Structure 1
Amino acid sequence: MIRFENVGLRYGMGPEVLRDLTFSIEPHSFQFLTGPSGAGKTSLLRLLFLSLKPTRGLVSVFGREVTGLAPDEVAAIRRRIGIVFQDFRLLDHLTTYENVALPLRVMGREEASYRIEVTELLRWVGLGERASALPQTLSGGEKQRAAIARALIARPDLLLADEPTGNVDPTLARRLLKLFAELHKSGTSVVIATHDLALMDQFDATRFVLAGGRLHVYD
């Protein structure tokens, strides 16, 4: 599904923040991405989402080498990827329901075909009573859950999540992890960036550890 070969990344003329990354992500797999603050976890997720281009090396996503892809081809690939950013990126003029439903609208689906799906997912993440609320009225934890629901609603081929349980209590964190696990069982590959060792210990999953700009893989 994903293949990196000798990938390096630098910002501007600075030193490489990621270097010599060689790894693959298989279909239907589950990975944790961890490492100290500033190790480059968010940068690696952005490379996986194609919102950053590598400085060097080869990146292949869904069998396509990404260098030289046209913008519409990149957009088509990104529609197969769900992502939860740390800054949530909810649209302020849309309600919680509308934010979560947005990927389905972009796919051209009529609301009647997805209304029940969106409503049930909002209920599952504890936002059933906040469906009509605008993002500026949501707490940080509520925004986090809305962003997670939006990433999950289209059942992507690949889910990328940057500290997805960082703003929620332990009980809700376990519910969200159960949701990620169910999505994985249905065929989605999952990559979760986290510092939470207790969280990682709940899953028998591959661990990608970033340190010193390099990636170490532990199965």
Structure 2
Amino acid sequence: MVRFENVGLRYGLGPEILRDLNFEIPAHSFQFLTGPSGAGKTSLLRLLFLSMRPTRGLINLFGRDVSLLSKEEMATLRQRIGIVLQDFRLLDHMTTYENVALPFRVTGRDEASYRREVIDLLKWVGLGERMDALPPVLSGGEKQRAAIARAVIARPHLLLADEPTGNVDPTLGRRLLRLFIELNKSGTAVVIATHDINLMDQYEARRLVLHQGRLHVYE
């Protein structure tokens, strides 16, 4: 599904923050992405989401060379990827329900075909009473759960999550992890960036470890 060959990334004229990345993410796989603060985990997720281009090297995503894609083609590929970033990126003028339903709306689906699915997922993540609330009045944990629901609602081929359990209590964190695991069982490849060693130790999964700009893969 994803292949990196000798990928490097730098910002401006600064030193490379990611260098010589060579790894693959198989279809239907589940992995944790970890490493110390500042190691480049968020930057790697942005490369995977096509919101950044590498300084050098090859990224092949869904069988396509990313460097050859037009903006329109990149936008189409992004529809196959769900992402949860730490800034959540909810649209403040839309309700919680409308934010979560957005992946369906942009593809032109009729609301009657997805309304029950969106409502059920919002209830499952504990936002059943907040469906009509706008993001500015949500707590940080509520925003995070809304962002996660939006990322998984359309069952993407690839899910990227940056510290998805960071703002919730341990019980809800485990519940969200079960959501990711069930999504993985249905065919989605999952990459979860986290600092939480205890969380990772609860699950058998590949570990992608970033250290000093390089990636090490532990099966």
Indicate whether the TM-score tops 0.5. yes
Partner residue of 2:63? 63
Classify the secondary structure of the residue corresponding to 2:68: coil
Secondary structure, aligned partner of 1:32? strand
Partner of 1:197: 197
**Count, aligned residues:** 219
Once residues 26 and 202 of structure 1 are traced to their aligned partners in structure 2, the CA distance between those partners, rounded to angstroms, is: 22
Per-residue deviation at 1:67? 0.3
| Partner in structure 2 of residue 96 of structure 1 | 96
Deviation at 1:208, TM superposition (A): 0.3
Q: How does 1:1-219 map to 2 (within 5 A)?
A: 1-219=1-219
What is the CA–CA distance in structure 1 between the aligned matches of 2:41 and 2:10, rounded to whole Å? 14
In structure 1, what is the Cα distance between the partners aligned to 2:27 and 2:215?
A: 20
Counterpart residue type for residue 104 of structure 2:
L
1:132-154 Cα shifts (integer Å, max 9, x gaps): 00000000000000000000000
SS of residue in 1 equivalent to 2:77: helix
Q: Distance in 1 between matches of 2:8 and 2:211?
A: 14
Q: Determine what percentage of the aligned residue pairs are the same residue.
A: 77
For 1:185 and 1:69, locate their aligned partners in 2 and report how far apart those are by CA, in whole Å: 30
Distance across 1 between alignment mates of 2:135 and 2:170: 23
Shift of 1:68: 2.4
Shift of 1:107: 1.2
Amino acid corresponding to residue 187 of structure 2 in structure 1: G
SS of structure 1 residue aligned to 2:168: coil
Distance between the aligned counterparts of 1:174 and 1:41, measured in 2? 22
Compute the displacement of 1:95 (Å).
0.1
Quote the offset at 1:203 in angstroms: 1.3
4+ aligned runs moved over 3 Å, structure 1: none
| CA RMSD, Structure 1 to Structure 2 (Å) | 0.4
